[in-house]
Chain A
């Protein structure tokens, strides 16, 4: 890919998003669209592999490769096997993902907002991924045990409650810290894009009980867990609320304000990455440009780091103007890429 802008264009369902997603998985070992990598495996296939060359601003080049199957995962940098995913990821670049469904960050349920936080936190805090994975494993085991027996075996279940509580503390603390750092950038972006003095407030909502003491919370809600047979509290249910001028954005903001806020969240991520790391993030922008009005489009283009590599998918090229004269173009048809 060229250092600047590359535009992938083609009709719907030709594989544009898959290309972008593959780049994201190769760079970060996670997809912004799904929480499990197994979901990336093609229907009726049992494995996938991705490879690519990463060139830093300083000109250092390295060959990154990942192979994934139900049996396990192999990570290679310059043909050298990486035993720990942390070593692989530390070598990689930061990624910001923008998509036309970002509006769901403001309007829809907490799932998307948690994925947004997880995707960011995993990139910035090396301890976040292992904590989240351990939490997830412990929760799946715990839910399995809650469902398995007619009369739940609490000593077995509580063997996992303690692990859940330990990891939840780490996950929640990092998410709070992340939101605290992110908020000023989001506020600034909201003002810039809207051109108005809109005051944005973001607040983290923990579902781990008083003082984030998840073990105590779960103990006090035992009868509820007995009834529902599922882990009823913890960071997998956490969320954050956004308030514009004192009113909850999901319910009371206009559609325009909501679109602005969704974009502001992604621009804030870019700014935060820039402020914390020397290397600018790679921007993966999926099917956004056809939908943006002029104001938001200009805001995006003014805000994105000049030195960032931008990879953009689109179905139509109507919006393309002089600003993109230097952009490389790749046509995608039926999963085949042709450089224009």
Chain B
């Protein structure tokens, strides 16, 4: 007697869900069953949203953020932004927290990663050429590096400072100040962070 399993469409759905980040076989099965049990009312709008997002959302060729053909890029095509400063981030998703902080209203450039030779990611795999081209085209006075504070992020920052130093002498390159997180005590801060926080201290 053949072993009983889910019908083919459910198996296909489980297989697709398994490909999502952070979803293992057990979760994929749970989600699929949950969707099936709710029927068309659930799956209709869901597949429609998925279809539309896949069709309409593009990567902005300039900054790397999410855009649509219809409305363009909310940053590059946005009004009232400062065209003299640019902030470099690793991933397009890093742009939103900076935007929400309200502290920055310039342009962005997402590299789509960081240099990590041990993982076979080199400068040529990142959007560094595009960055250089943008800087030469525009009239930027300051470039802010907002990359992560780990070894790869630091190396990427150091590399950018090295290669962008030749773009123009008028361009000031800065990096985000590193410090103690709000609500965090000093005892849990590492020495280099503390050193940099002291270097970047502010008057009161």
B155 engages A159 (CB within 8 Å): yes
B123 engages A156 (CB within 8 Å): yes
B77: Cβ under 8 A from any A Cβ: no
- Which of the 9-residue segments B26-34, B129-137, B170-178, B187-195 touches chain A? B187-195
Across the interface, which residues of B come within 8 angstroms of A127, CB to CB?
Answer: 190-192
State the CA gap A131–B154 with chains docked (Å): 14
A155 engages B163 (CB within 8 Å): yes
Across the interface, which residues of A come within 8 angstroms of B192, CB to CB?
Answer: 127, 130-131, 134, 166-167, 170
Across the interface, which residues of A come within 8 angstroms of B158, CB to CB?
Answer: 158-160, 162-163
Interface hits, B105-162 → A, CB 8 Å: 115-118, 122-123, 150-151, 154-156, 158-159, 162
B: number of interface residues (CB 8 Å): 20
- Which of the 9-residue segments A67-75, A140-148, A194-202, A255-263 touches chain B? A140-148
Tell me the dominant secondary structure on chain B's binding face: helix
A222: Cβ under 8 A from any B Cβ: no
A86: Cβ under 8 A from any B Cβ: yes
Contacts A130-B190, A140-B118, A144-B117; A159 near B162 (Cβ below 8 A): yes
A23: Cβ under 8 A from any B Cβ: no
Instruction: Give the contacting residue for B118; candidates A126, A141, A158, A163; CB below 8 A.
Output: A141
Q: Which residue of B lies closest to A84 (CB)?
A: B188
Tell me the dominant secondary structure on chain A's binding face: helix
A156 engages B159 (CB within 8 Å): yes
State the CA gap A144–B115 with chains docked (Å): 13
Binary contact readout B162-204 vs A (1 if CB under 8 angstroms, 0 otherwise) = 1100000000000000000000000110111000000000000
Q: Which of B116, B117, B156: most chain A Cβ within 10 A?
A: B117
A95: Cβ under 8 A from any B Cβ: no
Binary contact readout A150-181 vs B (1 if CB under 8 angstroms, 0 otherwise) = 00000110111011001100100000000000
Across the interface, which residues of A come within 8 angstroms of B118, CB to CB?
Answer: 140-141, 144
Q: Which of B155, B158, B162, B190: most chain A Cβ within 10 A?
A: B155
Q: Which residue of B lies closest to A128 (CB)?
A: B191
Separation in Å of the A106 CB from the closest CB of chain B?
A: 31
Across the interface, which residues of A come within 8 angstroms of B123, CB to CB?
Answer: 156
A189: Cβ under 8 A from any B Cβ: no
List 11 A-B pairs, Cβ < 8 Å.
Answer: A127-B191, A130-B191, A134-B150, A134-B192, A155-B159, A155-B162, A156-B117, A158-B158, A159-B162, A160-B158, A163-B158
Given A159-B115, A162-B158, 19 further pairs, Cβ under 8 A:
A84-B188, A86-B188, A127-B192, A130-B192, A131-B190, A134-B150, A134-B192, A141-B116, A141-B151, A141-B155, A148-B117, A155-B159, A155-B162, A159-B155, A160-B151, A160-B155, A163-B151, A163-B154, A170-B191
